[in-house]
Amino acid sequence: MFDNPDNVEERLHVEEEAKHFRKVLQTFSLYKTSALMANNRRRKDYHALTERHKNLIPNYLNHLNTIDRAIGKNYAVVKQIMTNGQMFSDGKDSSLLHTHTSEQDENTQDEITEYDFDKLRSTIKQFVRDWSIEGKPERDVTYQPVLQELLEYYKEVPLSERAKINVLTPGAGLGRLAFDIAKSGFSCQGNEFSFYMLLASHFILNRIERIHQYEIYPFIHSFSNIPSFEEQLKPISIPDVLPSEIPQGIDFSMVAGDFVEIYGDDSHKGTWNCVITCFFIDTAKNIMEYIEIIYNILKPGGLWINIGPLLYHYENMPGEMSIELSLEEVKNLVRKIGFVIKKEKTIQTTYTANPNGMLKYVYDCAFWTCVK
């Protein structure tokens, strides 16, 4: 008997997803090997110098040895993240849940690229933004305006009744904004597509017992634009708050998967009081689809708060469609679909920047509050 075409497509999708998840786990498991190899390249380059030039930087090798030790400390945290891969309990296929080590899945190992390791390094830096004292200034620039708008819109709702307000945060990353919303008394669901982020967010949200439990070294992977070796080796303690401190009666959850696939059907139509998008809408292949879904899943009078740039993730990516609109076109589209824009302004911010680094990209983020 032949499979129904829909069943075949679904099975292939699950198999592809499982393969990608194994690749992500393999990238985690090879973090230490990859990082040490990069450091060994620097040693090789140092030894290629003339003796005169070596003598001009007498502490360089000692610094590389210290970096090696910091890589080992990072890997201890990476291993903890890997051991907590059992997070896809909400309808995910169990074949995704097997933890792999560097000795497993040798075929997958051959496919891992520098792009994959960069995703992991970016995830490590995301801990700084979302869950450290050092990341608070950057967090406050983007998260505080969002939280203030949320509290202002529902100011007539008593604190004891806030749990009845359902807030969705797609593109939740490591979950700090969703956590802050839930801690403010609202029921909140985060949604995230990246397995790198999902592994890390599950670890930080579910496996932490005390504040500053872990120490990471997020800035050791690049020697560019560092003011000093001491700054490069500055440890960051995570988390700065205890993620389990959510008020009783609050529904707080994280859902894994593609935003369009999960929320694009009728089961979510008119079920959400508020959608908050932070550095998210430019992840769309078709931004019109995103905005339509946000509109459809909101209840009448529902609130949409957005903050972020328009750095379209799929622009010029081979084999992928991408519709790129200007900010003016996006706001016109928001109105055409049925939203009423109540507030809008521009907020300047960095994103996962090294607080003490010599290079910072500053985004002029579009911030708006819309009502359905």
DSSP 8-state assignment for residue 137? H
Query: Using one digit for the tens of pLDDT, what is the confidence trace for 152-185?
Result: 999 999 999 999 999 999 999 999 999 999 999 9
Distance CA 279, CA 292 (A): 18
Q: What is the pLDDT of residue 163?
A: 97
Distance CA 64, CA 343 (A): 50
Where b means 16+ CB within 10 Å and e means fewer, 105-136 reads beebbeebeeebbebbbebbbbbbbbbbebbe
8 Å CB contact between 302 and 273 = yes
Query: Using one digit for the tens of pLDDT, what is the confidence trace for 196-240?
Result: 999 999 999 999 999 999 999 999 999 999 999 999 999 999 999
Q: What is the pLDDT of residue 111?
A: 84
Query: Using one digit for the tens of pLDDT, what is the confidence trace for 65-78?
Result: 999 999 999 999 99
Query: Using one digit for the tens of pLDDT, what is the confidence trace for 44-67?
Result: 999 999 999 999 999 999 999 999
Top pLDDT among 21 and 239 is at: 239
Give mean pLDDT, residues 311-324.
96
SS3 category, 18: helix
Distance CA 338, CA 340 (A): 7
Distance CA 163, CA 183 (A): 10
SS3 category, 317: coil
Q: What is the pLDDT of residue 1?
A: 40
Where b means 16+ CB within 10 Å and e means fewer, 46-80 reads eeeeeeeeeeeeeebeebbebbbebbeebbebbee
Closest CA to 223 of 41, 99, 94: 41
Where b means 16+ CB within 10 Å and e means fewer, 293-302 reads bbbbbbeeeb
Q: What is the pLDDT of residue 14?
A: 72
Contacts 24+ apart (CB under 8 A), 97-103: 98/22, 99/25, 100/22, 100/25, 100/26, 100/29, 101/29, 102/26, 102/29, 102/30, 102/33
8 Å CB contact between 363 and 351 = yes
Where do the domains of the chain lie, and which CATH numbers do they carry?
A: 113-371 (3.40.50.150)
Asked whether the predicted pLDDT for residue 337 surpasses 50, the reply is yes
Asked whether the predicted pLDDT for residue 29 surpasses 60, the reply is yes
Helix H or strand E segment including 75: helix 60-82
Asked whether the predicted pLDDT for residue 4 surpasses 80, the reply is no
Q: What is the pLDDT of residue 86?
A: 44
Asked whether the predicted pLDDT for residue 6 surpasses 70, the reply is no
Distance CA 146, CA 140 (A): 10
Give the mean pLDDT of the chain: 91
Distance CA 268, CA 262 (A): 9
Q: What is the pLDDT of residue 7?
A: 54
Q: What is the pLDDT of residue 11?
A: 57
Query: Using one digit for the tens of pLDDT, what is the confidence trace for 247-266?
Result: 999 999 999 999 999 999 99
Q: How many CA atoms lie within 13 A of 35 on its CB side?
A: 30
> How many C-beta atoms surround the C-beta of residue 331 within 10 A?
17
Q: Six-digit token pair at 227?
A: 């003011």
Quote the percentage of the chain above a pLDDT of 90: 86
Give mean pLDDT, residues 143-150.
98
Q: Six-digit token pair at 35?
A: 């990082």
